[in-house]
Structure 1
Amino acid sequence: MHKLIILFMLILLIGCDNENMHKEEMTVAAAADLYHAFTEIGEAFTEQTGIDVTFTFGSTGNLSQQISQGAPFDLFAAAHESYVDDLIDKVVVAADTKAYYALGRIGFLTPRGQFTQITSETLLDPSVQTIAIANPEHAPYGQAAKEAFMTMGIWEAIQEKLVFGDNIRQTHQFVETGNADIGVVALALVIDSQLDFFLIDDDLHEPILQALAIPVHTNKMEQAQKFSDFVLGQEGREILVQYGFELPGE
């Protein structure tokens, strides 16, 4: 009897090993604003295709640099198309895989009940000591925040108040943990937030037009294209809209 049990367990183990050997996997480098939306999209994608997706979320600029240096990502979802275009020029991602998937929005994140609105006067008031934004040098949402402040005519005046997050999620955390009085963050990150959020007029900055593409070095081109198609398909688009993204061309 014991021999039969051991034999049965060995068969199960061999079966599991064979299944793992044939399991499809892929990796996605995604802008930090996509954390919630892409996590949900990834789960739905895996459920439908059986392809496991591992995400690395970060600032678009840093991820772009990693891909340029050969980081083994199978798809790149940038927070601004300019980074994809730059990689196309360098022949790092395939031009014919570029696709627009979303328009992002930014707004002011503040502690609950502290403000009824956010204006230039609010930001200049001495009671507001720290304003967090993502680093505009490598984060498109930070660049949009800088553009908004410049349009408002207060960029120079608030320099001493600014603290820079490495990416838009870290910027959100600065406000959440009380390390910033106000933060400029992505609408897509504040769903179900316990903090207050005031949307910034999108006329104050250039559109945050987000694009994705597939690196030329991937050996998972088929899987990456399937994920891209899923993001751009009905279910992917519906999830993006749920998290506050607008859809290009609509």
Structure 2
Amino acid sequence: MWIRQAVLAGLAVTALLMATAVQAQQITRVAAASQLRFVLEAIATQYRERYPQNTIDIQYGSSGRFYAQITHGAPFDVYLSADMDYPAALVEAGFAASEAMPYAIGRIAIWSNTVDAQSLVLADLADERFRRVAIANPRLAPYGARAEEALISAGLWDALQPRLVYGDNVSGTLQLVQSGAAEVGIVALAQVLNPVIAAQGGYALIDVDVHRPLEQGLVVTRRAAQNEVARHFADYLRGVEAATLFQTYGYDLPAVIP
């Protein structure tokens, strides 16, 4: 009898350990570029409703900082960058368990909460009424790099140097304008289409011809090589349902959507 009880107890412990292992695998940690916050929260809400057994934990920040953290062992399973360069670099360096996959194409816009930005063009940023112009740090944030390219294309980069203020990422750039630290900024279109932000001021879309495309990519990290939930969420981000939300929030789509 005691042998049978011991065996049953052992089986129960084994089952508990297996259940714990499965549960742990279902927790997927996502590092996402800051301008994705509004659209990704909508996508994640939709995903959780469809797959409540899968836990998705999302952190937002600059693409460059997340890239550096992942290469130093940060515990992220899926990485959504604001460009394709950082994901491709992770693949090249052996820190990815998937290829670098495009999921959306971003746009940049001039935005202000104190002046009517709807009629502004890049050349207007040289106006003396704009004592401070905010952009994301071009060395850390792809949206900042594209803002720099746009200003160079307009012949304004050198002239605006003394007036530029930098956010760590494009969310920080928006906050610089909101706080009054800058009168105007170049931010993500996805941010200013959010109803809360849209109510604070107008925007002017910047022509795509003045900067490189903001093709955004993702990877499943090496840490998540055996994490099926991470792969499932990555696939969902590139699926039709997510594509609809990306378009709603002002993103263009890659040429191929599965």
TM-score of the two chains, using structure 1 as the length reference: 0.88
Distance in 1 separating the partners of 2:205 and 2:124: 15
Cα drift, residue 135 of structure 1: 0.1
* Number of the residue aligned with 2:209: 203
Change (3 A) 1:220 1:27: farther
Cα drift, residue 43 of structure 1: 1.3
Find the partner of 1:60 among 51, 54, 63. Answer: 63
SS of equivalent to 2:223: coil
* Number of the residue aligned with 2:76: 73
Change (3 A) 1:120 1:228: closer
- Number of residue pairs matched by the alignment: 232
Cα drift, residue 219 of structure 1: 5.8
* Number of the residue aligned with 2:5: none
Contiguous gaps of at least 5 residues in structure 2: 1-15
Contiguous gaps of at least 5 residues in structure 1: 1-16
Distance in 2 separating the partners of 1:79 and 1:52: 23
* Number of the residue aligned with 2:94: 91
Contact 2:123 2:154 (C-alpha < 8 Å) held by counterparts: no
Change (3 A) 1:120 1:28: closer
1:82-117 deviation per Cα after TM superposition (whole angstroms, max 9, x unaligned): 0011111110112x4421100000000112553452
Distance in 1 separating the partners of 2:115 and 2:136: 24
Give, as a single letter, the amino acid of the residue that structure 2 aligns with 1:134.
A
Distance in 1 separating the partners of 2:216 and 2:125: 28
Contact 2:141 2:170 (C-alpha < 8 Å) held by counterparts: yes
* Number of the residue aligned with 2:12: none
Contact 2:27 2:55 (C-alpha < 8 Å) held by counterparts: yes
Distance in 1 separating the partners of 2:225 and 2:142: 29
**1:82-121 alignment, distance < 5 Å:** 82-94=85-97, 96-111=98-113, 113-121=115-123
**1:184-223 alignment, distance < 5 Å:** 184-191=186-193, 192=195, 193-194=198-199, 195-218=201-224, 221-223=227-229
Same amino acid, percent of matched pairs:
34
Find the partner of 1:30 among 11, 29, 32. Answer: 32
Cα drift, residue 175 of structure 1: 1.2
Contact 1:32 1:168 (C-alpha < 8 Å) held by counterparts: yes
Contact 1:72 1:218 (C-alpha < 8 Å) held by counterparts: no
SS of equivalent to 1:210: strand
**1:159-178 alignment, distance < 5 Å:** 159-178=161-180
Give, as a single letter, the amino acid of the residue that structure 2 aligns with 1:207.
P
* Number of the residue aligned with 1:43: 45
Cα drift, residue 221 of structure 1: 2.3
Contact 1:32 1:167 (C-alpha < 8 Å) held by counterparts: yes
1:240 partnered with 2:246: yes
Cα drift, residue 178 of structure 1: 1.8
Contact 2:71 2:90 (C-alpha < 8 Å) held by counterparts: yes
SS of equivalent to 1:158: helix
- Answer with 40-49 or 204-213: which moved more: 40-49
Give, as a single letter, the amino acid of the residue that structure 1 aligns with 2:35.
D
1:44-103 deviation per Cα after TM superposition (whole angstroms, max 9, x unaligned): 111111211111111100000000001010100110000011111110112x44211000
Contact 2:117 2:204 (C-alpha < 8 Å) held by counterparts: no
Change (3 A) 1:110 1:92: same
Distance in 1 separating the partners of 2:117 and 2:244: 32
1:228 partnered with 2:209: no
Cα drift, residue 201 of structure 1: 0.3
Contact 1:133 1:184 (C-alpha < 8 Å) held by counterparts: yes
Cα drift, residue 218 of structure 1: 2.1
